[in-house]
Amino acid sequence: MLDDIRAIVGDRYLLTGDAAAPWAVDATGKVQAAPFAVARPASTAEVAALIRWAAAAGRAVVPAGGLTGLTGATAAGGALVISLDRMNRVREIREEARTVTVEAGVILTKLHETVEARGLSFPLTFGARGSCMVGGFLSTNAGGSNVLRYGNTRDLVLGIEAVLPSGEVLDLMTGLHKNNSGYDLRHLLIGAEGTLGIITAAVLKLVPKPCAHATAMLAPRDLPAALTILNAVQEDSGGAVEACEFMPGDYVKAYARLHPEHGMPFDAPHPVNVLMELGSTVPRDSTPGPDGAVPLVARFEAILERFFEEGLLVDAVVARSEAQRRVMWARREAAAEVAGTRSPRVTNDVAVEVDRMDEFISRADAVLARVDPGAGRSIVAHLGDGNIHYTVWPGTLDEAEQDRMVEAIEDIVVDMRGSFSAEHGIGSFKLNSMARRKSPVALETMRAIKAALDPQGIMNPGKLLP
């Protein structure tokens, strides 16, 4: 079997034993399952050949990118891991069309840097951007901080190329914005977590690179007031708000303990802390006036002043330099670091309607105190899209008890007609949630699609579908 794989990728790019150990774990540390082997193909043709071999051998296949997932989606005990890390070319940038064609192994930061050199931007961003890869964020339909303005991954993809479980290549690599010719197979494969095939390349949308940012840490009176401020700033700026991130007071204090060099965002602590950032591509917004003020920043400050007068805003610090802006973002993007200060931890990645986030947090805190009095929790949230990362440090090591705690939180989400998985995906960790919460009709439809495309069940088995 190994000789067959070696013939496809070459001896240097077939890894077994200790050499394959990095693919036996994931970012959470919960997954520890040794793969049969790791193959590192350099082309779509090699991926297709590997899939054809796996289909003939009846061997399970697990695709892997940067291994930054949080749901156990790359657990690969006994499977052939196909790592896309060598397929890392930016094939083409079309500046006038504002598209970029990339392979699945391109790291998100590299994509950012490459297109920004052309005065353009790929607006998807999140904390793991330095190691996550295109194939991974497509396979999970990642969200991130800029969903408010630019949408999820699906909203940023025009075309994809994928190898199906049969080994055939599905070529949907167009830059068309309109294509109403049947089922949208592109969107079917995005978010499928490698269970329907392996995405090998994509055509992505680009936007103009902002020439000015206005970034601030805000202390609203409460969370509903934060939403009022967000909506008003959106209206006044013509939709220029790119990110609006909520951090409660205990999270901010925990970060300050880890990074005392960054300190606290305000002179006094506040229960509600919000990072808000506006971006503009209009040169007049970035050209300092006679007083040295950047117009975008000055306009933002004028809006905030109104909310001070109305009592909706208690405190605010506007970034005066890029260094100050980076500290503000470092505080928000340290969510995994803050959550990792205690163990074990259970991540609840939920979404509710944006005007009910405060209600969810209050109800979840009450349930947690009742179900697991010894538990703690850490929260960060994307205020603009209703996505709350409600991480729990359970007071028990009993996994069954931990699952009951998750189920109690899910009860609140379901009652509020929310989602138990907002942007992290399902993987293997949320199979119980899928079985409990997903519509039986929806599950049967998903199983029918899986059976039609992957009748042998070799593509990332044991993930997504309970």
pLDDT digits (tens, 9 = 90+) for 198-215: 999 999 999 999 999 999
- What mean pLDDT comes out for the span 444-449? 98
- Give the number of residues written for the chain: 466
* Domain 212-335 identical in fold to domain 342-424: yes
Q: Is the pLDDT of residue 292 over 80?
A: no
- The one-character DSSP state at 417 is T
- Residue 91, Cβ neighbours under 10 Å: how many? 12
Buried b (16+ CB within 10 A) or exposed e, 93-112: beeeebbbbbbbbbbbebbb
Closest CA to 427 of 87, 76, 103: 76
Pick the CATH number of 212-335 from 3.40.640.10, 3.40.50.620, 3.30.70.2190, 3.40.50.300: 3.30.70.2190
Highest CATH level, class, for 342-424: alpha beta
Distance, in Å, from the CA atom of 224 to the CA atom of 371, rounded to the nearest integer, reads 27
Q: Is the pLDDT of residue 32 over 90?
A: no
- What mean pLDDT comes out for the span 453-459? 97
Q: How far apart are the first and last CA of the chain?
A: 30
Beta carbons of 158 and 172 less than 8 angstroms apart:
no
Distance, in Å, from the CA atom of 176 to the CA atom of 355, rounded to the nearest integer, reads 35
Task: List, in order, residues 6 or more apart from 455 with CB less than 8 Å away.
Answer: 165
SS3 state at 99:
strand
- Residue 452, Cβ neighbours under 10 Å: how many? 9
Q: Is the pLDDT of residue 397 over 90?
A: no
Segment among 15-29, 216-230, 268-282 with least mean pLDDT: 15-29
For the record, the structure tokens of 386 come out as: 């209703």
Element spanning 101, H or E: strand 99-103
- The one-character DSSP state at 247 is E
In this structure, whether the domain defined by 90-208 belongs to CATH 3.40.50.20 is answered with no
- What mean pLDDT comes out for the span 46-52? 98
Query: Quick one: pLDDT at residue 285?
Result: 87
Closest CA to 454 of 54, 138, 34, 4: 54
Query: Quick one: pLDDT at residue 47?
Result: 98
Beta carbons of 16 and 37 less than 8 angstroms apart:
yes
State CA 133 to chain mean position distance.
11
Pick the CATH number of 2-83 from 3.40.640.10, 3.30.43.10, 3.10.450.50, 3.40.50.720: 3.30.43.10
Starting at the earlier edge strand, list the strands of the sheet with 376-382: 313-318, 212-220, 272-280, 241-248, 376-382, 387-393, 346-351
SS3 state at 61:
strand
SS3 state at 54:
helix
Buried b (16+ CB within 10 A) or exposed e, 142-156: bbbbbbbbbebbeeb
Where do the domains of the chain lie?
2-83, 90-208, 212-335, 342-424
- Residue 57, Cβ neighbours under 10 Å: how many? 13
pLDDT digits (tens, 9 = 90+) for 351-364: 999 999 999 999 99
The mean pLDDT value of the chain amounts to 95
**Radius of gyration from C-alpha coordinates of the chain:** 23
Task: List, in order, residues 6 or more apart from 243 with CB less than 8 Å away.
Answer: 145, 146, 148, 149, 275, 276, 277, 382, 384
In this prediction, residue 25 has a pLDDT band, given cuts at 50, 70 and 90, of confident
In terms of C-beta density within 10 A (0-12 exposed, 13-18 middle, 19 or more buried), how is residue 302 classed? exposed
SS3 state at 300:
helix
SS3 state at 299:
helix
Beta carbons of 82 and 65 less than 8 angstroms apart:
no
Segment among 20-34, 38-52, 85-99, 107-121 with least mean pLDDT: 20-34
Q: What sign for the dihedral angle of Cα 258, 263, 269, 270?
A: negative
State CA 447 to chain mean position distance.
25
Distance, in Å, from the CA atom of 425 to the CA atom of 434, rounded to the nearest integer, reads 11
- Residue 184, Cβ neighbours under 10 Å: how many? 13
